A and B are shown apart, each in its own frame.
Chain A
């Protein structure tokens, strides 16, 4: 069974750094892109970016470029989303999702990681 399991909820202060994870299992990790998607409280889905785990090539939404970094570790079949300096506006649920073979649709999805940034 293909599964993506994300790390647990985080509570951080503005300016702190954070890395959340997404572990893939049940499939060839290097054969499918992984995307990250943000959902702010009560709001819709926003595509942040994606990574090709085979070579770590990344592709970001202009809205998130420069504020987050997406990475992957083939040896542990884990993708990461990280911030060097969090803002209160980063408070949201973050989902990872495996992309389809063409890299343009999402499925399956991780269970989500809630990030709360508050002073």
Chain B
């Protein structure tokens, strides 16, 4: 199964908003509302930021939001802060009863 497609890198200045896309197919992203997003700082374990497309776990800042349209899911970070600089990964459930990650996006805060 192929990894979901994410941009390799995105960047933004403090205070700005950025969006990271995650493109799959009708058998994964487009077929289910089971997209999740993870933040990973260097040398650290990943951390859940969004689940089921747009739900935020308790404790996650409301600056993080998720959405989906067709086969593409998106993570938006508003009011960018230096601490947001990290790698971000999307994940989706698939019709094969498996899970698949995106290739990851490196966010740089300028």
Residues of A within 8 A of B (CB): 35, 37, 44-47, 50, 59-63, 95, 97, 100, 102, 104-112
Instruction: A104-B93, A105-B51 are known; give 11 further A-B pairs, CB within 8 A.
Output: A44-B102, A45-B46, A45-B101, A61-B1, A62-B98, A95-B46, A105-B36, A107-B47, A107-B48, A110-B45, A112-B45
Interface class of chain A by DSSP: strand
A47 touches B91 (CB 8 A): yes
Residues of B within 8 A of A (CB): 1, 3, 32, 34, 36, 38, 40, 45-48, 51-52, 57, 87, 89, 91, 93, 96-104
A45 touches B98 (CB 8 A): no
B47 touches A109 (CB 8 A): yes
User: Which B residues are in CB contact (< 8 Å) with A111?
Assistant: 45
Q: How far is the CB of B56 from chain A (nearest CB, A)?
A: 12
B101 touches A47 (CB 8 A): yes
A105-B48, A109-B46 in contact; A62/B91 too (CB < 8 A)?
no
Nearest opposing residue in chain A for B33, CB measure:
A104
User: Which A residues are in CB contact (< 8 Å) with B38?
Assistant: 45, 106
Q: How far is the CB of A107 from chain B (nearest CB, A)?
A: 4
Q: How far is the CB of B8 from chain A (nearest CB, A)?
A: 10
A45-B38, A105-B48, A105-B52 in contact; A62/B1 too (CB < 8 A)?
yes
Complex Cα distance, B97 from A62, in Å, reads: 11
8 cross-chain pairs, A with B, having the tightest CB-CB distances, nearest first: A107-B48, A105-B36, A44-B104, A105-B51, A104-B34, A109-B45, A104-B93, A47-B99
